[in-house]
Each structure stands twice: as C-alpha cells, then as structure tokens.
Amino acid sequence: MESEQNIAYDGQNSKPMEGVFHSHLEEKVRPYIDLIDSFRLIGIDEDLALPTIAVIGDQSSGKSSVLEALSGVALPRGSGIVTRCPLELKLRKIKCGVQWRAVISYKEEFTEFNDPSLVEGYVEKAQNELAGEGVGICDELITLEIMAPDVCDLTLIDLPGIVRVPVKGQPEDIGHQIKNLTGKYIEKDQTINLVVVPCNVDIATTEALKMTQEVDPEGKRTLAILTKPDLIDKGTEKNIMDIVRNQVIPLSKGYIIVKCRSQKQIDDKISLTEATRVEREFFRRHDFFSCFLYEEKASIQCLATKLTQNLVDHIKKSLPLISEEIKKQLWSLRKDLSQCESSPPLDPQKRKIFFINTLMKFNDKISCLASGDVVNDDNLFVILRSEFKKWKDHLDSTKASFYKTVQEVVAEYDLKHRGRELPGFSEYKVFEMVVQKLVIQLTGPAIDTLKVSKDTIQKQFLDVSKTCFLNYPFLQSVAMNKIENIQSKQEAKVEERIREQFEMEQLVYTQDGIFFKTLNDIHAIDGQKASEDNFAGFDSRTKYPEMLQAYYEIVAQRLADQVPMLIRYFMLKKSAQLLCSEMLGLMDGANVAEALCEKSDISRRRIDMQTRVERLTLAQDKLSNFL
C-alpha cells in the first residue's frame, strides 16, 4: 500500500496520476472552478447549495473505485457495504512541490494529516464513530479535503451503495434509509448526478438509475458511468455498445465506460498510475470498445475531462441563480441585523456612554408611558380608563340599593330606630349611620380596582424593560426588581390613602351649595325646588330617601374620581419618577462590564449574521466579474 501511495503522490516518482485532471483545465474552465472553490473557502456552502457532483450506484458497482481513480486517493473499498456515511471529497489543487495534505472532519472532529496512506484508516474510523461499527449507515457527512498538486478543484460526494436486501446485522429498512439519504443529494438542482452502473448487470434494473430518472427524467444533470467492462459475459458486448451510445436509456449527458482496478489488481498492488495505463491499453485492444476511445466515451481520463466540462457548464448556468439567492439572503440578513441592536463598544469610555444612553432610552420610554404615550403593544390608558369606568359603574350600581335601604329605614323608623324623640321628629344620627355603613362597603371594590390597575401598570413597565434591555439580562433583572419593589411600595401607599379616604367619608360631609345643587338636579323632574332659604318645609322624614340619595350621589362622584387619581398619581406618575431616578443611580458605581454583559446567544447570533453578511458580500463581489 505504502509504495503504491508513494507512486501516486510523490512528485519524484514517474508521472503521478498522469495529471488526470489538471492538464485539461484550459484557461476558460479554470476560473469557474476557482470561483466555486473560493465560494467554498469562504463558507458560502453553508448558506446555499453550490454545484457539486454526487456519486451514486448500487452496492459494489464501483463508485469508490471511480472516485479513487479520479482523485488518486485510496478510499475504503471492497465487497459488502463499505461507504456507510456520505463522504464529501473536496479536492484542491495546490502548487507543485507543496506537500500533500488532507483534513478529515465530521461533527466536532477535525484531523489534519499528510500521509495519503492514512486516508482509508481515517475514513473507516470516522464511519465507525458516526454509524457505529458494523453495517449500519448514517446521514452525517464526513468531509475529506485533499490538497494535492495533481488533483483538480472538484467536490464529489460518495454515497452509500444502494442495497435492496439487508444483510445480517442491518436494520430491515436499510434499503429505504439509503434511498432516502441518496434522494436528499440527487434531488438538488445544483448537483450533477454521477450514476455508476456495472456492465455485467442488467442496467434497466439498476436502482440508482431509476432514482435519478425520477428526479431528473431527461438526464440533464445525470452522467452515467459503466464500470467493470472487463467482467462482461461474452456476447453481451453489443448490448453494452447500444447503452454507451445512448440508445437504451437515453440521458442528455450520456454514458462513459471506464475500467478501474479489479480486486486482483489491488491485491497485486498495481498503482493507480499503472492502472490508468492498463485501462487505456484495455480499451485500445478491445474488439468492440476500442472505438469508444475515439468517440470520447471511454476511460477515466475522458471521464475526468467530461466531468470537468460538465461541472463548468453547470456552474455557468447556476451563477445567475446563486447571485439571486445571495441577494435574497443579504436582504433578509440586513433586515434582521438592523433589528438586532448594535453591540456595546469595547472601549471603556465609549462603553460608559453607551451604558448611559441605554439607561436614558429606558427612562425616556418609562416617562412616555407615564405621561400617556403609547409605547407598548397595548395602550395603557385605554386599559386603565376601562378599569376606572368599571369602578364608576360599580358605584352607580349601588345607588338603587342605597335608596332602597334608606327607604326601609324610614318606613321602619318608629318600629326599630326611634329613640326619645317625639313622633314626627327623627334623629339625624340614625341616617348618618346608614350612610356610613353603606359607604364603607365600597372600600373592597376600590382596593380591587387598585390591584387590577397595579397589575396592568406593572406589566407595562416590565414590558418596557424587556424590550429596552433585551440583550442585557443583568439590566433586565435589575429593572424588574426595581419595578416590582416600587410598585409594591406605591400600592401600599395608595391602599392606605384609599382607606383614609373611606375613614374621612365617615364624616358624612359636603358643602351646602353642592348638596342643594345635587338635590335640585334630582328633583328637577318633579318640579320641586329646595334652597337654603325655603328648606323649612322640607324637614320631613319622607324626604330623607331623596336627600340622602343626593348625598350619595356626591360621595359617588367624589370617589369615582378620587380612586383613579390616587392610582394615576402614585402608581404611574410617582412610580415612573422613582424608577427613573433609581435607574440613573446605577450610573455611578455600576460595574459597566457586568451590566452590559450580553446574553450569549444574542451576541453569537449577531456575530453569526455579521459573518454571513461578510461572506455573502464577498461572494457577491467575486460573482460580479462573471455575470
């Protein structure tokens, strides 16, 4: 093995690989392959599909042998299932004289080596790690990048061979799994499908060809390779000739017939270079197939040329699509980036200013919120007004029962309430107590209004802190704590004021002028009129319900405004002021670095987007020379 590899790669030995590829790369072809190569180098293949070549075929059809012959790299081969994970073979041409180098990567693994004879071992190891030892398969991609002077910049993907019947140890649906995996690669418009079919089987029944026909019926991006021409049964040569001449299953890209190393040649350690020579000789001397050499339908050499040409044509066709795709992605990335705020500067002075600005922005928003601007999705004042309205509705709803209660007291006065007074007189205190008792019952609903309002206001404050400090978990939690603290304290304060208010209501007081005005408003309907001068005739118990109704009206009006005003003043205005000044307090002595510490996924996402924008822009630049 060692000696063969040396022949294949050591520049000092004969002519390595006879330059299967690079001698055919004319000036016109090279730039396109270079362009795609440079796209891969900047990582564009992470953003969009680049033109690639996928090698598919039934098991043991000779896929790996073809790849090997094309790349000059010995891959794991043999009978049974050998390729068990998709293997992306990136071939990179480097300057003559520079040492052969390869990198194998999969998952987190990344190994660099410079001995070609290690390729097989590393690929096997990778497959065992990804698909487990044995005969299972796996979707995970292994990337093998080979940098050698005698390869061309081609990327080929070797896929597990298609099998129909599972062998011992394989899951029942292995055939299905492999077909699924293969399908993922061959269905992409960017992929050239290289279908490998051995000459010694009935081509019409090969699964691989059937699959490509499904995704590419006219064979516009399918190139078929017939292998093992040395193994055909005597007498079937004519059939093979018809196939190669595209007369059996026509494909626009046609067929090529190649002869790779047989198992015996491998065992005999025939080098790849030697094998190329042997192949030529085989075709040259063949009774039937020699004509294909002139028709350019035979040999690895010819396949290499055709593949390169095909790839270049394919690239040319793809460029406008790639350009479109790049534009589309750049547009949406730039949009996303503009929404994702800039990161804090690293310079300490600038960072401090950034910090202050961040706090100021938050304070501005909070002040706006408190003064009635709509800064969130929901309009705070609309919600509050409807809450306050509910409070007033509740007050109004109690009026009727208040009137009724007073009426009852009047009716039952002599029976239940009358004291030492002579009949016809009544004691004010009795009615005062009724008012006191009924008004104090409004305390609960008033406090409920406070609670609901507090929740609404607090939620909106928290929403502001979430949007302003989206990227800064530390600031967000500081602000949240402050908001909750301040809101609780303010709520306690308002609750105290409300209770005080109800204690004051026990005084049962209003200005005479206000009382009479309200009373008259009530009586305007029945034409009676009361005033401070002519009220003498009014002092009769039957009038109490109306009179107290007027008073209750005044209380209801007072409370209808008072409770909302307390809430707006303490919960909103004062809270906002307190919050803003506490946030400003963070400016001195705060650990700016800690405060501006970003959520790791945010900064990662931003960096990721920026990197993508950079490489897409770079790709766009490179592309502009070609369109």
State the residues that interact with ligand GDP by CB under 6 A: 57, 59-65, 77-78, 82-83, 161, 227-228, 230-231, 259-263, 266
**CB of residue 88 to Mg ion, shortest distance in Å:** 14
CB nearer to ligand GDP: pick between 65 and 127: 65
- By beta carbon distance, the residue nearest Mg ion is 64
**CB of residue 66 to ligand GDP, shortest distance in Å:** 7
CB nearer to ligand GDP: pick between 230 and 427: 230
Q: Mention every residue, 6+ apart, whose C-beta is less than 8 A from residue 619.
A: 39, 42, 44, 322, 326
Q: In this chain, which stretch among 83-91, 470-478, 518-526, 575-583 interacts with Mg ion, using CB under 5 A?
A: 83-91
CB nearer to ligand GDP: pick between 83 and 305: 83
Number of Cβ within a 10 Å radius of residue 81: 23
Q: In this chain, which stretch among 46-54, 82-90, 409-417, 579-587 interacts with Mg ion, using CB under 5 A?
A: 82-90
**CB of residue 210 to Mg ion, shortest distance in Å:** 19
Pick one of 82, 152, 272, 435: the residue that binds Mg ion (CB under 5 A).
82
**CB of residue 253 to ligand GDP, shortest distance in Å:** 20
- By beta carbon distance, the residue nearest ligand GDP is 262
Q: What is the 3-state secondary structure (H, E, C) of 224-244?
A: EEEECHHHCCCCCHHHHHHHH
* Residue 305 touches which of Mg ion, ligand GDP, none (Cβ within 5-8 Å per kind): none
CB nearer to ligand GDP: pick between 153 and 279: 279
DSSP letters for 421-468: SPTT---HHHHHHHHHHHHHTTHHHHHHHHHHHHHHHHHHHHHHHHHH
CB nearer to ligand GDP: pick between 65 and 358: 65
- Residue 556: which of 415, 410, 396 has the closest Cα? 396
The count of residues in the chain is 627
β-pairing, 222-227 vs 101-106, is unpaired
* Residue 228 touches which of Mg ion, ligand GDP, none (Cβ within 5-8 Å per kind): ligand GDP
Residue 62 token pair: 């000779």
Does residue 227 touch Mg ion according to CB under 5 A? no
- Whole-angstrom distance, CA of residue 96 vs CA of residue 169: 46
Residues 49-68 that bind Mg ion (CB under 5 A): 63-64
**CB of residue 87 to Mg ion, shortest distance in Å:** 8
**CB of residue 78 to Mg ion, shortest distance in Å:** 8
- Residue 478: which of 394, 584, 556, 407 has the closest Cα? 584
Number of Cβ within a 10 Å radius of residue 450: 24
CB nearer to ligand GDP: pick between 262 and 520: 262
Residue 349 token pair: 């002075």
Give backbone dihedrals phi and psi of 111, rounded to 5 degrees, phi first: -130, 130
- Whole-angstrom distance, CA of residue 71 vs CA of residue 91: 7
**CB of residue 265 to ligand GDP, shortest distance in Å:** 7
- Residue 449: which of 382, 392, 401 has the closest Cα? 392
DSSP letters for 477-546: HHHHHHHHHHHHHHHHHHHHHHHHHHHHHTT----HHHHHHHHHHHHGGGT----SSSGGGG--GGGHHH
**CB of residue 282 to ligand GDP, shortest distance in Å:** 9
Which residues in 78-176 belong to E strands, given as ranges? 87-93, 101-106, 109-113, 142-148, 154-158
Residue showing tokens 């967000």? 476
CB nearer to ligand GDP: pick between 275 and 380: 275
CB nearer to ligand GDP: pick between 57 and 545: 57
**CB of residue 91 to ligand GDP, shortest distance in Å:** 17
CB nearer to Mg ion: pick between 62 and 116: 62
Beta bridge partners of 157: 54, 88
CA dihedral (456, 461, 467, 473) in degrees, to 10, reads -120
Residue 358 token pair: 């961040």
**CB of residue 85 to ligand GDP, shortest distance in Å:** 13
Q: Distance of CA 21 to CAs 33, 70, 144, 306, Å?
A: 12, 8, 19, 10
Pick one of 5, 83, 127, 206: the residue that binds Mg ion (CB under 5 A).
83
CB nearer to ligand GDP: pick between 163 and 375: 163
CB nearer to ligand GDP: pick between 7 and 442: 7
**CB of residue 343 to ligand GDP, shortest distance in Å:** 49
* Residue 260 touches which of Mg ion, ligand GDP, none (Cβ within 5-8 Å per kind): ligand GDP
Q: Mention every residue, 6+ apart, whose C-beta is less than 8 A from residue 545.
A: 403, 406, 407, 410
**CB of residue 21 to ligand GDP, shortest distance in Å:** 19
* Residue 263 touches which of ligand GDP, Mg ion, none (Cβ within 5-8 Å per kind): ligand GDP
Q: Mention every residue, 6+ apart, whose C-beta is less than 8 A from residue 588.
A: none
- Residue 24: which of 316, 222, 319, 311 has the closest Cα? 311
**CB of residue 279 to ligand GDP, shortest distance in Å:** 8
**CB of residue 336 to Mg ion, shortest distance in Å:** 42
Burial class (CB in 10 A: 0-12, 13-18, 19+), 295: exposed
Helix axes 300-339, 272-285, angle to 10 degrees: 130
β-pairing, 109-113 vs 101-106, is antiparallel
- Number of residues in contact with Mg ion under rule CB under 5 A: 4
CB nearer to ligand GDP: pick between 261 and 606: 261
CB nearer to Mg ion: pick between 160 and 344: 160
- Whole-angstrom distance, CA of residue 542 vs CA of residue 545: 7
CB nearer to ligand GDP: pick between 70 and 567: 70
* Residue 606 touches which of Mg ion, ligand GDP, none (Cβ within 5-8 Å per kind): none
Beta bridge partners of 298: 257
Interface residues with Mg ion (CB under 5 A)?
63-64, 82-83
